[in-house]
Amino acid sequence: INNNSNNKNNNAEGGSDALGLGAGARVDHAEPYIIGGERRLVIKGVCNNFTALPTVYRPVNASSFGPPYRADPFFDPMFNSLDTSARKGFEHVLIFPGPDGQLHLTGHDHGDGRQPHYVSSKGDGLHWQFVNFQTNYSEPTPVWPQYGGPPGDQGGVPLFMIGFSTGHGSGRPLSIDLLNISWSP
């Protein structure tokens, strides 16, 4: 997690870093994407105060997803914690093309569990505009269409997602849910 005060996105509480007050604690949940022909790893960065935001890393060798990686300063982080519920950020970023020809991004908000929905109308995955909050569907994974490209702008429009749910101590077993995506204009 880069706490570079010169970063254009670093204007969160106290001005210390875009992930809120506190130093970087860990990174996890790496998602590989190819957008505009460029390989990117979208990784959840978490601070000691449990604020989480997606950051982007690129492989040094652009022809492979293999290490080493470098943080992309334009996306460190992708969004500011001030723009999320309770200023706690969000995680589990999903980037996928929609039937409208635009690139969509959703995540799981740490403040209240909703899914923020952004659109990159330029299709470059660089500039994201908040659209709305989606229904609460936790942290699903897209089912990429058969013969679709790799995850990213060439992966095809997903029609389904897979979600996992548990009874959280209720004695109910783990369930795997197939979620049908309904697109509306």
Q: Over the stretch 71-92, which tens digit does the pLDDT of each residue have? A: 887 776 777 777 777 777 777 8
Binning pLDDT at 50, 70 and 90, where does residue 63 land?
very high
- Higher per-residue confidence, 109 vs 160: 160
Range among 138-147, 161-170, 174-183 rated most confident: 174-183
Burial of 126 (0-12, 13-18, 19+ CB in 10 A): middle
Range among 36-50, 110-124, 164-178 rated most confident: 36-50
pLDDT in the model for residue 169: 64
1-22: average pLDDT: 37
For the chain, what is the mean pLDDT?
75
pLDDT in the model for residue 176: 81
Torsion 13-139-56-38 (CA) sign: negative
- Higher per-residue confidence, 67 vs 8: 67
